Structure 1
Amino acid sequence: MQGLRAVAVTLVVVYHVWLGRVSGGVDVFFLLSGFLVTGQIVRAAVRGRVEFVPLWGRMIKRLFPAALTVLVVLIAVCMLVLPENRWFQTVREVVAAALYLENWQLVSDAADYFDQHDEASVVQHFWSLSIQGQFYLVWPILAVVVVWIGRWVGWGVRRSVAGLSAAVFVGSLAFSVVLTAANQQLAYFHSLTRAWEFALGGLLALAVDAVVLPRRLRVVLGRLGLLGLVACGLILQVGTVFPGYLALWPTLCAAAVIAAGTTGSRVGADRLLAARTLRYVGDLSYSLYLWHWPVLVLYLVLRGRDEVGLAGGLFVIVLSVLLSVATYHGVEAPVRRSGIGVARPWGAYRFGVALLVPVLVAAGGWQVVSDRKAASYELLVDDPDHPGALSRTPDFEYWGSEDATIVPPMVSLPDDFAPHPDSVCRASTRNRELEACTGPSSDTPTKRIVVVGDSHMQQYLAPLTQLAEHHDWQVVSMLRGACPFSVDADAMPGDAGCVKWNADAAAEIISLNPDLVLTNGTRDVRVGLTEDTPAGFVAQWRKLESAGIRVLAVRDNPRFGFRPSACLVSQRMDPGPCSVPRTELLMEEPPYQRIPDLPSNVAFADFSDYFCEPELCPPVIGNVHVYLDDNHVSATYMATMAPIVEAEVLALLGGGGEP
């Protein structure tokens, strides 16, 4: 087993470090866990009783010490070297990792539109350990329940557990295939799409002693299994097609190696896997898995790179091995050999809590520090040090401090997205997914403005909130990520939910009869000169034209192929290398100017000159971060655009915005 673990962890490390891919090695760990735990449960049940307290106590002794040690060290190191814009995400994931919920945290982030752009954290690899921890908790309970039911109907222990394993294997694999096809990112981290891999290990544990294979066949099985396992990550795009049915490749390869057993052949896989070096790497496999990923991520952060290269990769691997050796011999092995939980099984649980508390306390302290840094700046109206977009207006003259800091603070930048401040939201009777959120105003507001579209329209709530308070406007927002206001699903073709949402949004707007609708005028979904004004946009404007409703269509802001803020950090806050030529991001002429016979109710606003300079699109303008990620404008910067947006809106309202 240790030799197979060594191969699996070596594949994981090498593929992560040099190939930027996943190898299928994690799937081998899942199968091995199912194999070993199921075997333990069956043997205990045959003896008469499965004792949960000592069973889970042994798992705590084996899993907690190394994992929680790594987490405590990472908190201390990351507070010193990790860019502040990654703090909140990392704190969130450290807590999830400590509680063996990291896979569900990643699922939650993938479902949250604004967290989808998160960078890989130093503890993202804990997703697989979390699934294993959940398996260790649930599987023994399921097995005991099934064994009890089996005894009631006259089944033996092995038959009952085999039935459970087979049912979970078939059901989970089917679910995995379906969900992988529908939402691969969700399927990759979902516990139930991985359960079949543990169940396959359980079936193998029940069959390996019951089925005797010829020696020559076992030699062939072992060699083919080992070769197939090594080749898996080279042939398959594991990170984009797993788990699904293709995850059968590495798991069946590992099963073949286990089924081959000890052949005694000089050409058998077992001879290679029994080598002392591989057995030792197998002993280190848990600690090596824990360390290699954060070392890789932190190396890339400190060097400001996307790839490590040959020499950098060797450094990452050597350092990871040294840390894993220290952790194995200094933490893992001593705790496993200790008497903790032996005489008093509950002692292992007290020990686990004693290890867990420092991690949670340290993470909580880091959260407090992050919160204080995030609250250290609040944009003031007419702030001379941070004019933002106003610095791009004609005749602007800077009269603030020469050493003014760039805002917002990096720690709060990833979350600096325009909210729905003090809004009252109600679900539409036409569509539960359509919410109309109404901002505060008097009982008789002077004007009603509807903001409708995707997240790039939500950005405009930042300036409109200021203007609404000043002019006593009522601002109503109807927003859905990746779903601009159109008769089609332009950003995500085939999204029927977006099409229906837009149709219902149009009906809601017509029933509200606002003075103005602010919406997307162009769409730029990729980096480069891909901006267009889809026919679906124009069709929606015509619907509003028939209802006599005016539309202000806003040109989309540029999209980058990287995070300007992250680039700034890597370049020691030098904006030069992070600025992109304007001609690479924006067409000289907006695409709507080429459309004939536009609806008469539509006017256009092009704020490109406030996102870009004449030659470059920089990451910072007027001492304010322009972007919070690679395509969303920060709320702080958008707030500095209030006078600019005001001029466009008042021009359409006939200057009648004053109360």
Structure 2
Amino acid sequence: MAAPRTRTERRPEIEGLRGLAAVLVVVYHVWVGRVSGGVDVFFLLSGFFVLGMAARTVMRGERIDLGGTWTRLFWRLLPTAGLVLLVSTVAAAVLLPPSTWARNLRELLASGLFVENWRLAGDSVDYYADHGTASIAQHFWSLSIQAQFSLLAPLVVLLVAWWARSRALDVRSALIAALSAVAVVSFLHSVHATATDQAFAYFDTRTRLWEFALGGVLALVLDRVRLGSRARAVLGWAGVAGLVSCGAVLDVGAAFPGYLALWPVLSAAAVLVAGRAGAGERLASPAARYLGAISYPLYLWHWPVLVVALAVMRSPSPGVVGGVVVVAVSVALAVATHHLVEEPLRRVALPRPVALRSLVVAATLVPALVGLGVWAAVLAADRAAPVALGDQDHPGAAVLVADHESTGNPAAPVQPSTARVQDDWADYRDACAPVPDHPQLEQCVPISPEGEPQRRITVIGDSHMQQLLPALEPVARDRGWEVRTLVRARCPFSLASETDPGDATCTDWNAAAVEHLAADPPDAVVVGATRDVRAGLTEQTPDGFVAGWQELDGLGIPVVAVRDNPRYDHRPSECFETYGRGAAECAIPRAELLAPDPPYALREDVPSNVSFLDLSNEICTPETCPPEIGNVLVYLDDNHLSASYSRTMSTAVGAQLPGLLNW
């Protein structure tokens, strides 16, 4: 029988709880730089309301109008989100450095499509990194998860109710069982994923579903919880104390969400169970409820305001006074948005046909998406041609040659521009295919002569070997060489796992590469000679590198090992953008990065088949390692050479490589 329609109890303390969560998020983002747990409260409350509302509908025997449910949910989300995205797009294009434009454009578009969490997960973004390096839309990751949940939740409730009725089961019990199962599976996945790949797990929708599901379970069982007023008061205050202390007590930099997310979620659940008792009275106060009413626009506005402020201040932190200004501006924008956008639109009667209503709701995002499209078109039209060899205005590494005489303009604009440099990568994916005898390998042939090659070279290693292909390409084409690659990200050629001692992925890859080379030996192999070149003279030649060279020596294959380039804790191109050409702030002393004698020169177990190519003099001056040389930006990020600069090193490669191989 259908459950009787009952009066829904008003829960004003929940609005105050939402306000508290928003305040915690803002305070921790602006001043602390830690996770507050506030977003987890939002997830729990979304599950409590959305799943609870859908569950009560089916328990009354009524049909869930999916189209109407979705449009009502998104009518509360999209107008404010669209406004913030539009303003953020303009702010990013006008106020943020050009070096951030491409990243901001990608993430703003992902946010407009509510897939920002997957964008960040795919990029393995560190949520705990310096806020000054984050995109203006990074905070949309949580809204993206909420939107995905809002689409999924009514469907799950509808399917579970249909299944329960088809088997004459109690719908409430079936929903509780189903949501509990989702919560358990998602939580276990969250614990495992956080332990294995925290950067991905943080933004993974699947690691957060348990928080929504737990909210749904609470909505279904809360009316059956019987606690005395004193117990509820203690529970309510404990929940508030847990929320306020979460970010301060837990340093969750590499362990969230995982099991640590239980802290804020269970704290919020305690407040829900306690109701108006104890802390609930404070959360139900007019001031707390008003904070709850503006919590959504406050959450959306505070992040772009903070990111723009940090860019304008050129600081990783706003400080006390700057933080107060950020919060004040964010609150003012939230109040204005609530009263001028949210409240008037909520009084608007949407058209009855679901299709037309959906168009009206979706139209609130159109201005932001159009703005993003215009910005993308402008950036695409501004794409500069790659730096060509012999460009007198952009000689790059050629200016470091002792007898270099330039006839170009020494003050010419740098290439690639700071807006484009992060995309200036040596990408040869179109020339790749699996290796027939070892399907786990991917071999590329980016450089091949028209006829029979004079020589065949195989480049093996990680992205630091791939970045050298533009420097090798002119030499290879001029001499009729074929160049193949066996490149895997974060896997230098080594018979040990250099990036993660417990991960056999790279060692398996390299073992397969050796077997492939034994079956089809090239005339020479180019690999890395060192790694981890950082300030403090941390450069090393690991034992696994030497073991790999010895393996190739046994196959009779000559090896050219290339000394690695420096890595930084910042993007040199952004430093150049901030301080300008020749700034001392960006010129890192060479002596802090590169020792006079490379580490391989100090080893006595290097086999005779190995010769070394040291391009340090083409990347650094005798005194410093600057971000720009010869009007060309050296790096595209914090450790990879730009393809344009790599190409300008081809003269040095052509002068040294044939002699090293006695060709």
**2:58 maps to 1:34:** no
Structural mapping, 1:556-635, within 5 Å: 556-573=564-581, 575-635=583-643
CA–CA separation in structure 1 for the residues paired with 2:652 and 2:429: 21
Q: Which amino acid aligns with 2:400?
A: R
Residues 4, 282 of structure 1: 8 Å contact kept: yes
| Alpha-carbon distance in 2 for matches of 1:239, 1:38 | 31
Residue equivalent to 1:25: 38
Aligned counterpart in structure 1 of residue 255 of structure 2, from 241, 252, 263: 241
For the structure 1 residues 428 and 109, does the alpha-carbon distance in structure 2 shift closer, same or farther, using more than 3 Å as the test? farther
Counterpart residue type for residue 78 of structure 1: A
Q: Which runs of 5+ in 2 are unaligned?
A: 1-13
Aligned-residue offset at 1:160: 2.0
Looking at structure 2, the residues matched to 424 and 37 of structure 1 have their Cα atoms a distance apart, in angstroms, of 47
Give how far 1:437 is off: 3.5
CA distance in 1: counterparts of 2:533 and 2:660, whole angstroms:
28
Change (3 A) 1:225 1:405: same
Report the more deviating stretch, 159-168 or 7-16. 159-168
Q: Which amino acid aligns with 1:249?
A: W
1:486 touches 1:540 (CA, 8 Å); kept in 2?
yes
Q: Give 3-state SS (helix, strand or coil) of 1:478's partner.
A: strand
Structure 1 segment 167-206 matched on structure 2, within 5 A? 167-206=181-220
Residues 393-402 or 531-540, more deviating: 393-402
Partner of 2:163: helix, strand, or coil? helix
Question: Out of 444, 448, 453, which is 1:445 matched to?
Answer: 453
Q: What SS does structure 1 have at the residue aligned with 2:397?
A: helix
Structure 2 vs 1, CA of residues 509 and 236 (structure 1 numbering), >3 Å: closer, same or farther? same
SS where residue 88 of structure 2 aligns?
Answer: helix
Q: Which moved more, 1:601-610 or 1:398-407?
A: 398-407
Aligned-pair distance for 1:462? 0.7
Contact 1:28 1:251 in 2 (8 A): yes
C-alpha deviations, 1:92-145, integer Å up to 9, x for none?
211211111111111222299xxxx99421111111111111111111101111
1:369 alignment partner AA: V
Match of 1:2 in 2: 15
What residue number does 1:220 align with? 234
1:364 and 2:389 are equivalent in the alignment: no
> Which amino acid counterpart does residue 29 of structure 1 have in structure 2?
F
Partner of 2:56: 43
CA 1:27/1:526 → structure 2, altered by over 3 Å: closer, same or farther?
Answer: farther
Residues 1:272 and 2:282 are matched in the alignment: yes
1:390 maps to what in 2? 398
CA contact (8 A) 1:168 1:199 kept: yes
Question: Residue 340 of structure 1 aligns with which residue?
Answer: 350
Q: Distance in 1 between matches of 2:362 and 2:280?
A: 39
**CA–CA distance in structure 2, aligned partners of residues 597 and 211 of structure 1:** 72
What CA distance in whole angstroms lies between the structure 1 residues aligned with 2:582 and 2:595? 26
State the Cα distance separating 1:379 from its structure 2 match. 1.2
- Contact map agreement 2:191 2:258 (CA 8 A) in 1: yes
Q: What code does the residue aligned with 2:381 have?
A: R
Inter-partner Cα distance in structure 2 for 1:589 and 1:301: 40
d(CA) in 1 for partners of 2:186 and 2:29? Answer: 27
- What one-letter code is carried by the residue in structure 2 that aligns with 1:613? T
User: C-alpha distance in 1, partners of 2:334/2:605?
Assistant: 68
**Does the 8 A contact of 1:423 with 1:438 survive in 2?**
yes
Which of 175, 179, 183 aligns to 1:165? It is: 179
User: Could you tell me the TM-score, scaled by structure 1's length?
Assistant: 0.95
| Counterpart-to-counterpart distance in 2, 1:476 and 1:427 | 12
Secondary structure at the counterpart of residue 450 of structure 1: strand
Letter in 2 for 1:485: F
Q: Any idea what SS the aligned residue of 2:438 has?
A: coil
Q: Distance in 2 between matches of 1:306 and 1:243?
A: 24
Q: In structure 1, what is the Cα distance between the partners aligned to 2:623 and 2:523?
A: 37
Q: 1:111 to 1:281 in 2, by over 3 A?
A: closer
Cα deviations across residues 435-487 of structure 1 (Å, max 9, x unaligned)? 34353223311111111111111111111122222111100011111111111
Deviation at 1:491, TM superposition (A): 2.6
Describe the SS at the equivalent of 1:209: helix
Deviations 1:612-643 (A, max 9, x none): 11221111111111111111111110100001
Q: 1:431 to 1:111 in 2, by over 3 A?
A: farther
SS in 1 for 2:402: coil
Residue identity matched to 2:294:
L
User: What's the secondary structure of 1:110's corresponding residue?
Assistant: coil
Match of 1:315 among 325, 330, 336: 325
Distance 1:600 1:431 in 2: 32
> Contact between 1:423 and 1:440, CA under 8 Å: does it hold in 2?
no
Distance 1:441 1:119 in 2: 43
Q: Decide which of 1, 16, 24 is 1:11's aligned counterpart.
A: 24
Deviation digits for residues 41-77 of structure 1, max 9, x if unmatched?
Answer: 1221133222112211111210000001111111112
C-alpha distance in 2 between matches for 1:243 and 1:325 = 31
Segments of structure 1 that go 5 or more residues without pairing to the other structure are none
- Matches of 1:118 and 1:412, distance apart in 2: 19
CA contact (8 A) 1:60 1:348 kept: no
Q: Secondary structure at the match of 1:630?
A: coil
Which residue in the other structure is 1:351 paired with?
360
Report the Cα distance in structure 2 between the residues aligned to 1:72 and 1:513, rounded to whole angstroms: 56
Shift of the 638–172 alpha-carbon distance from structure 1 to 2, 3 Å rule, reads: same
Q: TM-score, normalised by structure 2?
A: 0.94
Report if the CA contact (8 A) 2:587-2:626 is conserved: yes
Give the total of aligned pairs. Answer: 646
Please report how far the alpha carbon of residue 598 of structure 1 lies from its aligned counterpart in structure 2 after TM superposition: 1.9
Q: Partners in 2 of 1:214 and 1:278 — Cα distance?
A: 25
Decide which of 540, 545, 548 is 1:540's aligned counterpart.
Answer: 548
How much has 1:429 moved relative to structure 2?
Answer: 2.5
Alignment of 1:279-318 (within 5 A): 279-318=289-328
8 A contact 1:427–1:436 mirrored in 2: no
Higher alpha-carbon deviation: 541-550 or 133-142: 541-550
Once residues 422 and 471 of structure 1 are traced to their aligned partners in structure 2, the CA distance between those partners, rounded to angstroms, is 23
- Provide the C-alpha distance between the structure 2 equivalents of 1:421 and 1:125, rounded to a whole number of angstroms: 32
For 1:421 and 1:188, locate their aligned partners in 2 and report how far apart those are by CA, in whole Å.
29
Query: What CA distance in whole angstroms lies between the structure 2 residues aligned with 1:436 and 1:344?
Result: 54
Q: Distance in 1 between matches of 2:324 and 2:626?
A: 35
Whether contact under 8 Å (1:434, 1:501) holds in the other structure is no
Tell me the amino acid that sits aligned with residue 14 of structure 1: V
Letter in 2 for 1:483: C
In 2, Cα distance between equivalents of 1:196 and 1:64: 24
User: What code does the residue aligned with 1:534 have?
Assistant: P
In 1: Cα distance, 2:643 partner to 2:85 partner:
33
The residue correspondences of 1:452-471 to structure 2 (distance < 5 A) are 452-471=460-479
Query: 2:7 is matched with which residue?
Result: none
Distance 1:133 1:630, change over 3 A: same
Check if 1:477 corresponds to 2:485. yes
| C-alpha distance in 2 between matches for 1:192 and 1:346 | 30
Alignment match, 2:6: none
* More moved, 121-130 vs 426-435: 426-435
Distance 2:441 2:319 in 1: 47
CA distance in 2, matches of 1:651, 1:572: 39
Question: Could you tell me the percent identity over the aligned residues?
Answer: 47
Distance in 2, matches of 1:429 and 1:294, equals: 51
- In structure 1, the residue matched to 2:266 is 252
Q: 2:431 maps to what in 1? A: 423
Structure 1 residues 643, 618: closer, same or farther in 2, change over 3 A?
Answer: same
User: For the structure 1 residues 378 and 352, does the alpha-carbon distance in structure 2 shift closer, same or farther, using more than 3 Å as the test?
Assistant: same
CA contact 1:377–1:409 (8 Å) conserved in 2? no
**TM superposition shift of 1:253:** 0.3
Distance 2:117 2:190 in 1: 15
Note if contact 2:447-2:477 (Cα within 8 Å) is conserved in structure 1. no
How many Å apart are 1:431 and its aligned residue? 4.3
